[in-house]
Chain A
């Protein structure tokens, strides 16, 4: 029994990271329809920015400040990416595939730039936590796990409130529902796109920082993270913010439960590597909208 409670904490913290990456995709897809696979590289930008801010010899920042500054910097990178790879194409009337491919090109630029600046060695983000297991009620995990879960919860609550309670959030939804009508109603499409990319990048950057708390990471960290996040998005659905975290949690649980228990029912545990893809295939076939549908569609 204690094993499963331990596993739940570990899966929840992994699920939070996947969920944040899924949320980053979602924030951009909803208003623009653009799937941005560079989110993994943005996560790497966030992590390496945090690493630099924490460990540089000129002006090392205090921990919380460094994390906030790194996330803000990634948001800025998101703005720049949007300005270079999305806006010119959209304004020239390119089909949606145009920016998606341009963003794939940006992905390679980010990855190689990080490799050039920081070298290819894995970098250990300093963290003010020990590795000893601590208990929170019946649940046991490392302080890192609980930190990741707490931070993710805060981000999701914040984004949920943004969509549900602010005019800006309503504008996002309006654009998602009907781009043309929203524009006619006086919603500035360009501003919504900018906000989506800045927000998406900041969330991805934060996911990268949390991801690196689990182990040292190198410049190649983006792709596996982008794939996991995308799987979580497919499972949870692009319609609602809650879908992203739900998808992340389901994915991480499925992964870790198979790694732990699958061989007891005769499935080799190596199969857990295929779980994200299996889940993605199942959902694409059976429920392509994901678990949670947009409210209007559900109503």
Chain B
């Protein structure tokens, strides 16, 4: 008897659950989860990316939305802590999102993949550059459109090819991401036959980079490749460089393209070249900057455009999928081909080649010069 009751009860519950699911499926918005860092160490690059995402959603909705529905962004803060990041990813999946946009740091995004893989939820990072994101876990639901570190170093090498550097220095910090960038840079340099004669690390919380820079000065390299990501520690590096009266050319990773450096290291960065994926001369960028200025009342910069492209890519995939089925959306994202990018060199388009989940065009990275405490002109584009 009891078993009959409990079976009936179970049946009723199951029916209620189906009804609830039906109601969720009949929702009138398309929910996209956004994971950003509002309070932690990655905030200064995660939040600008998210601003761009919000702008893209607004523009798409103003033009009628996707599949006749409005896009709704559910934004979560992960404090750039991988464990928290995975938890909020799960929260978003439970809330019924059809896609997760990861605007936080590479290490946090990596942890979210455990959730996207398990729950079969498509996930995209528009800005992360770690190569390991698509190599360590075979997760068909994960996509990446940030400029990979190997593209960055190869583009820097292409830019300096005429100078034929043979012996260079590599400078980073002891953060996880800084170490990751340095490893990628070193591999790229060695592959190109360039010897890293001195490799220095500024530790988090350090009070001086003078000993490290003395070593670099003594080793007398032809150039210094910069791979660190911690703001204060990289400022120590620039200060020591100036203090010791060094003149060796510095070539920076795309982390230095974050505008905050221009104020943190004011007057210390002029003449340095940095990797970027932004060209203000592009018509797409001009149109984007105009809309951004209108929405936020201040000028846009490179990071905003990553998040802007991220939401546009997702909307495009949902449109082509023609449904809110996560599996169909995943397949549509994988089939993305020649989608015009705001980010990247002139004419760059996003494509996921068959079997690959990195969509940034290897020729899309640019090298920019820092002039008068501002990101100046593009001096080189591509790996050739």
Chain A interface (Cβ < 8 Å from any Cβ of B)? 3, 6-7, 10-11, 13-14, 17, 115, 119-122, 124, 131-133, 141-142, 211, 214-218, 220-221, 223-225, 227-228, 252, 256-257, 259-260, 269-270, 272-273
B39 touching A120, Cβ below 8 Å:
yes
Q: Are A259 and B212 in contact (CB under 8 A)?
A: yes
Q: How far is B239's CA from A131's CA once the two chains are assembled, in angstroms?
A: 7
Given contacts A3-B214, A10-B208, A211-B207, 18 further A-B contacts (CB under 8 A): A7-B214, A120-B40, A120-B41, A122-B264, A131-B242, A131-B268, A132-B243, A215-B235, A216-B232, A216-B235, A216-B264, A218-B232, A224-B205, A257-B211, A259-B211, A259-B215, A269-B215, A273-B201
Q: Which A residue sits closest to B263, measured CB to CB?
A: A124
- B239: chain A residues within 8 A (beta carbon): 131, 142, 214-215
Q: Which one of A6, A120, A269 has the greatest number of beta carbons of chain B within 10 Å?
A: A120
Q: Known: A13-B207, A256-B210. Contact between A220 and B41, CB under 8 A?
A: yes
- CB contacts (< 8 Å) of A6 on chain B: these are 210, 214, 244
- Mark out the residues of chain B between 34 and 69 whose CB falls within 8 Å of any chain A CB in the assembled complex: 39-41, 43-44
Q: Which of A7, A214, A260 makes the CB contact (< 8 A) with B236?
A: A214
Count class of interface residues, chain B: 20 to 34
What's the minimum C-beta distance from B229 to chain A, rounded to whole angstroms? 12
* B205 & A225 in contact (Cβ 8 Å cutoff): yes
Closest 5 CB pairs of A and B: A224-B205, A260-B211, A10-B210, A259-B211, A14-B207
In the complex, whether B14 has a CB less than 8 A from a CB of chain A is: no
- State the majority secondary structure of interface residues on B: helix
Alpha-carbon distance A216/B236, docked complex (angstroms): 9
At the interface, yes or no: B25 with Cβ under 8 Å from chain A?
Answer: no
Contact (Cβ within 8 A) B233 A133: no
Contact flags (1/0) for B192-207 with A, using CB distance below 8 Å?
Answer: 0000000011011101
Total residue contacts A-B, CB cutoff 8 A: 97
How far apart sit A214 and B209, CA to CA, in the bound complex (Å)?
A: 10
Contacts A133-B244, A259-B212 hold; do A120 and B44 have CB atoms under 8 A apart? yes
Given contacts A13-B208, A215-B236, A273-B203, contact A121 B43 (CB under 8 A): yes
A228–B242 touching, CB < 8 Å: no
B260 contacts the other chain (CB 8 A): yes
Whether A14 and B43, one on each chain, are in contact in the complex, defined by CB atoms closer than 8 angstroms, is no
Q: How far is the CA of A3 from the CA of B218 in the complex (A)?
A: 9
Closest CB-CB distance, A125 to chain B, in whole Å?
12
B111 interfacial contact with A, CB 8 Å: no
